[in-house]
Structure formats: structure tokens, C-alpha cells
Structure 1
Amino acid sequence: MRRCHADVQPPKETVSPHKHERLIHGIDGLAEFLGISKTKAMSLRKSGAIDQATTQLGRRLVFDPEKLMKLLEGKRV
């Protein structure tokens, strides 16, 4: 039995060339990503300034970091 499991190799981790490939989950994640408070992150979300980078899956908010950075480029957060 051990011999069979010894032949199995764990999957290799791939390193993405894109820095912002992962999604940001929730207001807490948004606040941490932007380096702002949760209150400021909620205000930013409610203002509609980042709606194009936001997806809501049920009760969960998901933000696309690449779109988020493009939307906030040149703006003071």
C-alpha cells in the first residue's frame, strides 16, 4: 500500500506572472489591500466609485484587484 502512495507526486505550484491575479474577498480584504480602514472601504464601496471592479456572490463581495487599481488610478482614497 505504501508503495502505491510513494509514486504519487504532489501537484506542482505554479507561480503566476501577474501580481494581482487573486481576487480580494470582502470589505476586510479591500481595506487591507488598499491600506485603509474598514469604514473608509465601506464608504468607497457605497459611493459607487469601484462598482465596475465589484462582484457580489450572494452575501459575499469580491473585488478584482486589477480593475480596482485602474479605477482608483490618480484618485486619492
Structure 2
Amino acid sequence: MDIRNLKSKLLWQMTGEEFLYLQQNGEHAEQHPAPVLALQKRHVYGIRGIAELFGCSIPTANRIKRSGRIDKAITQIGRKIIVDAELALELAGRKTGGRR
């Protein structure tokens, strides 16, 4: 079997045998380094996003936002609220290794 032809074939058009052959041999045929993905920040949006992040109700999420504890993690443009989830958890003391 020709690996180049198999790689250009759509997955749903392959037979089980072709798929297994490609899975076992395709990686060794052409060595490409795995792409290094930059760590992306995770964001949540709005009061509902804060509520989901902290696992609380929307009124409690409003209180968390108004308390000022996570202000450094919040970017607000008009009514749009964008929260850096990682930083918000760290500031609130919920992250592993953080203070409570």
C-alpha cells in the first residue's frame, strides 16, 4: 500500500485494513516533529462564565465580581466581561497551591 495515497484519502473512504495500516506505518514513513502548541489562556465570558468557573449561582458570581478580588483578571468593555479563568482562580485562592 502506498502511504501517500492513503494519507490523501478521506477517512470515511478507507477500509478498516487501510486505516490500521496507516495507523501502524504512517507515522514511521514520514518523520515530522510534533508541533509545539503555545499555551493559550482560557477565558470565560460574562457573569454566567464567572458562575460556571467558580461553581456558584449568578447572584454569587455578581458578588464575587463586585468584591474586587478578581479585578486583575477582568477586562470589561461596556457590558462585555472577559475573565482570564486561570488568574481569577488564583486571585480567589481556588487554584491548587494558592492561599485560601
TM-score bucket (shorter structure): 0.5 to 0.7
Q: Gaps (5+ residues) in structure 1? A: 1-13
Q: 2: distance between equivalents of 1:54 and 1:67?
A: 9
Q: Which residue of 1 aligns with 2:81?
A: 61
Q: Which residue of 1 aligns with 2:67?
A: 47
- Deviation at residue 65 of structure 1 after TM alignment: 0.9
TM-score by length of 1: 0.67
Question: Residues 17 and 69 of structure 1: is their aligned pair in 2 closer, same or farther, counting only changes over 3 Å?
Answer: farther
- Deviation at residue 44 of structure 1 after TM alignment: 0.8
Q: Which residue of 2 aligns with 1:27?
A: 47
Q: 2: distance between equivalents of 1:40 and 1:17?
A: 33
Is the radius of gyration larger for structure 1 or structure 2? 2
Q: Gaps (5+ residues) in structure 2? A: 1-34, 94-98
Name segments (4+ residues, structure 1) moved above 2 Å: none
- Deviation at residue 21 of structure 1 after TM alignment: 2.3
Q: Secondary structure at the match of 2:81?
A: strand
TM-score by length of 2: 0.53
- Deviation at residue 17 of structure 1 after TM alignment: 7.0
Q: Which residue of 2 aligns with 1:9?
A: none
- Deviation at residue 22 of structure 1 after TM alignment: 2.3
> Superposition RMSD on alpha carbons, in Å?
2.4
- Deviation at residue 72 of structure 1 after TM alignment: 1.2
For this pair of structures, how many residues does the alignment match? 61
Aligned-pair identity in percent equals 35
